[in-house]
Amino acid sequence: MPDRGSGPSGPRMRVGRPSRRSRTLLMTLGVLAVLGMAFVMFAGFWTDWLWFRSVKYSTVFTTTLWTRVGLFAVFGLLMAGAVGLNIWLAYRLRPPLSAMSLEQQSLDRYRMSIAPYKKWLLPAISALVGMIAGASAAGQWKTWLMYVNGVPFGRKDPQFKLDVSFYTFDLPWYRFLLGFGFAAVILSVIAAVVVHYLYGGLRVTSPGARATAAATGHLSVLLGLFVTLKAVAYWLDRYGLAVKSSDFKAADNWTGLRYVDANAYLPAKTILVAIAAICAVLFFATLWRRTWQLPVIGFGLMVLSAILIGGLYPAIVQKFQVQPNEQAKEAPYVEKNIKATRDAYGIDQSDVKDYPGVPQTDDKAKLRQAAGTTASIRILDPNIVSPAFQQLQQVKGYYAFPSTLAVDRYSGQDTVIGLRELNIGGIPKNNWINDHFKYTHGYGVVAAKGTTVDDQGAPDFTQSDLPSKGMFGTDFEQRIYYGERTTQYSIVGGPQKELDYSDDKGEKETSYQGDSGVNLGNPVNRAAYALAFSEPQILYSGAIGEGSRILYNRTPKERVEAVAPWLTIDGAPYPAVIDGRIKWIVDAYTTTNGYPYASRTTLGQSTADSLTNSQRAVVAQENQVNYIRNSVKATVDAYDGTVSLYQWDAEDPVLKTWMKAFPGTVKAKSEISKPLMDHLRYPQDLFKVQRELLTRYHVTDPQTFLSGSEAWAVPDDPTTKAGTAVPPYYLSMKMPGQTEKDQVFSLTTTFTPNERDNLSAFMAVNADPGTPDYGKIRILKLPTSKPVDGPKQVQSKFQSEPKIAESIRLLRGGDSEVEYGNLLAVPLEGGMLYVEPVYVRSAGLKYPLLRKVLVTYGGQTAFEDTLDKALNVVFGAEAPTTPVNPPPGEGTVTPPKQPQDPTVKAALADAQKAIEEADKAMKAGDWAAYGKAQSDLQAALKRAIDAEAKQPAPKPAG
């Protein structure tokens, strides 16, 4: 006999079963792979749970988790059950014998190939579609929580007279259910058709009937369900018209019904509901009639009706009824849109007044006095002076300030403030220990007066040095473990000491004492974080031990967004020193996209300006919204990362809904302390959204709105060439007609007409919560007959004035750079006062100094060394002398001059000498000499103050 192991091609290899050892190895590897994947999934879940527990918001994690799990399970099972049931039914309804045809003979091969796996195929397919559907449903957890916890708005839409909550909370859930139903029916139809065809219930080329009676009945029921769902969809589409956006020349992102919607689409949808219902009945009737003729005719009628009634008829109405008399037809609907939009964005109480735009008095002394009392004009631009903070107060390379500093108020003074945060890029030597164990935090607060600078044009610091000292004192927690620049994780509190700062005496070390972060004391946590951060050293490093804690999610916006994922976060958190702690204050918004008739806006676009970058961008849950409220004020402790959420808008139904869904996460407004309240302010991003809407919706007359003749625009920032919107500016000021006696911390902006550069309006909002009019929007509307210069025109005139242009050219001499600060506009006695600080960055100097101030008013322009000098030149009058508490009935009393103490005189002479030495050193670029001169100056001033304090008090005048 021939050898069975050989052949023409030579010997063949025998393929036998693997050895027991190989099988054991393969099984072990498989188990390890499964365990590895399971641990990866567990690590993500476990680290999330640990983090939420560490910030004491574990209920947010559990509520979100169980909601997702519940939706996944319910809708996954429903989808699996629907598809599985129809596969099973199609198989049970198969004909007992398949027709003898080429088509069925070719299908026999497929039937035979799947026969051994029929027991597993049904549950496998059902499980697959169920998991996909469940995962999709789990993503709707916000929709579900809003639906079950929805709170009425107490306002009804003008068309259907339903509460707004139906559109914001109910309708999105109904649409999800409808979409899920369509998906289940379509997948069931596909599965049933495949099985019926495979087992002979449906035939394409075989002789005889194309479908068995059982297959016909089965599929007709499924198609009947599909058409029934379509009838429901037509019914919901009627309500959807109230929140539908459309192209309309009167406004972008127009939302709500127009004439054609109310008079054509709405009746068409109602008729289509009836046609779809009849068509569904015809499909169900096929169970008895066993013919497709009537259902097919009905379905064709429905499609034709959708084209004619739902498409052609509205187009005819629009063409022949609306267009010939558009303003009259659309006016009632425009009025509804205006009212809803103004209400949804909180601009319905805006106070619009006419303003002349030109001075209403020639009294120069009165104008000069008004310039000093109407506003505290901030000449320290927080967007320019960050390099000065960096150079003068950074102290070490591993510290840094944000590129844009914050504006706050302390003791009635507008103050520019910044934190000395950790700068990983400035660490002398980057390695894992240095980056994550030694350099873990920033240190100290630096603040400067907003309305003055020192003699050199540098910031006039009120809090400075390291450790920080000044108006806040030194008795507060200065370490900054949580900040805008702190994006990497740190491991603190263990055997490895951390660097606070270093001085002439060496490094000052510390060990974190807060309870923030997650404990790495047990190996499970360490393994989970080693996997989560892809850093195996976390698992075995000796630098981690008893008490070690890992800090992450460290920016204020990240922390607030994580504990309240239903909030939209303002792009500009700001720090404040409150009750001995540095706290980040974060404004947060509740939004919705379903407010009927309110036009939509895109948050990313409406909040962008010349200062917007990735760090300052709004964190939006929904980028397109048509309702927004600053409903929550949040704080993040810079040392221990504690997040506190406070209810700010007690009337907001969206916030009430989320507070029902996540009870206990938001504190009552009454729990806001007085020191914290003093530092709250009107948020920038909300203001920017409102000003964008007010470019059109300051108009309340429908005819004027439709004509577009009163439309405004937010001007581009004239101090840059980027062509981006001018940012709003915080400023303490009094608006004309404002009831408060004193200046009020405000947020301001300007408007120009569309396609033109002259000024059309000035807008300010009261940004101080300590005043009765907080949040009051005031708009001064300028006349169109007498154009008033807008920001771009003012900037152009500044630069084209011959004397000013020559002065700027000289300032640029020697490779120096000129930087224009914020162009501030202030309404003053009927006219507009513009003020712009001008900074110079000399060659070799790494930061800008304030050198000049530009001022214009009533056609007069000045370019002087100080604001007071510039105002004096513009108004042709000196600033009035500050009165010294005159007795009742008497005039101003000037205190008699006291003879100067010799010690004071000598100290002031030394101070003047130190200033001169500092100036020389700065021009020469000798920074060591400059630092010594600054130290001598501070010492001399201290001697003068001490000597002055020892003098006897002056005798009362008179």
**H-run or E-run covering 946:** helix 927-950
- On whether the CB atoms of residues 659 and 312 are closer than 8 A, the answer is no
Mean pLDDT calculated for residue range 842-865: 87
At residue 37 the predicted structure's pLDDT band, cuts being 50, 70 and 90, is confident
For position 600, what pLDDT does the model report?
Answer: 92
Q: HEC states along 364-429? A: HHHHHHHHHHHEECCCCCCCCCHHHHHHHHCCCCCEECCCCCEEEEECCEEEEEEECEECHHHCCC
* DSSP states along 207-276: SS-SB-HHHHHHHHHHHHHHHHHHHHHHHHHHHHGGG-EEEETTEEEEES--HHIIIIIHHHHHHHHHHH
Segment holding 46, helix H or strand E: helix 20-54
Arithmetic mean of pLDDT, 426-436: 90
Higher-pLDDT residue of 512, 845: 512
The kind and range of the H/E element at 75 are helix 58-92
Identify the residue with better confidence: 245 or 834: 834
What length is written for the chain? 958
pLDDT of residue 884: 37
Residue 409 burial class via C-beta count within 10 angstroms: exposed 0-12, middle 13-18, buried 19 and up: buried
pLDDT in tens, 187-236: 999 999 988 888 877 776 655 567 788 888 899 999 999 999 999 999 99
Asked whether residue 896 carries a pLDDT value surpassing 50, the answer given is no
Confidence of residue 887 (pLDDT cuts 50, 70, 90): very low
Neighbour-count burial of 30, counting CB atoms closer than 10 A to its CB (0-12 exposed, 13-18 middle, 19+ buried): exposed
Question: What band does 859 get if pLDDT is binned at 50, 70 and 90?
Answer: confident
Cα gap 400→389, rounded to integer Å: 9
Nearest to 635 by CA among 677, 691, 607, 682: 677
pLDDT confidence band for 538 (50 / 70 / 90): very high
Chain-centroid distance of CA 205 in Å reads: 60
208 Cβ partners below 8 Å, 6+ apart? 99
Beta bridge partners of 338: none
Give 880-920 as a DSSP string. Answer: PPPP--PPTT----PPPPPPPPHHHHHHHHHHHHHHHHHHH
pLDDT value of position 5:
44
pLDDT of amino acid 900: 47
Residue 899 clears pLDDT 80, i.e. is over it: no
Structure tokens at 906: 């000598």
Region of poorest pLDDT, from 95-109, 175-189, 481-495, 777-791: 95-109
Distance CA 630, CA 346 (A): 10
Identify how many contiguous H helices and E strands the chain contains and give both numbers: 29, 35
In the beta sheet, which residues pair with residue 764?
748, 778
Alpha carbons 913 and 919: distance in angstroms, whole number? 10
**Which conformational region is residue 493 in: left (phi greater than 0), alpha (psi within -120 to 50 degrees), or beta?**
left
129: helix, coil or strand? helix
Closest CA to 460 of 560, 508, 406, 388: 388
Distance in angstroms (rounded) separating the CA atoms of residues 309 and 257: 17
Q: Nearest 5 degrees, angle CA 148-CA 149-CA 155?
A: 110
Average pLDDT, the chain: 85
Q: Which amino acid is at 894?
A: T
Instruction: Please report the pLDDT score of residue 958 as a whole number.
Output: 31
d(CA 322, CA 262): 12
Q: Which residue has the tokens 């068409």?
A: 268
* Phi, psi (deg, nearest 5) at residue 396: -125, 150
| 219-257: burial string, b at 16+ Cβ within 10 Å, e else | bbbbbbbbbbbbbbbbbebbbbbbbbeeebebbeebbbb
Using one digit for the tens of pLDDT, what is the confidence trace for 320-348? 898 888 889 989 999 999 999 999 999 99
Residue 925: the pLDDT is 52
Q: What is the pLDDT of residues 654-703, one digit of tens each?
A: 999 999 999 999 999 999 999 999 999 999 999 999 999 999 999 999 99
The secondary structure element, H or E, covering residue 138 is helix 118-138
Structure tokens at 935: 């130290």
- Percentage of the chain lying above the pLDDT 70 cut: 87
Write the burial class of residue 502 (CB in 10 Å: 0-12 exposed, 13-18 middle, 19+ buried): middle
Average pLDDT over residues 132-161: 96
47-80 pLDDT, tens digit per residue, is 999 999 999 999 999 999 999 999 999 999 999 9
Distance CA 748, CA 770 (A): 18
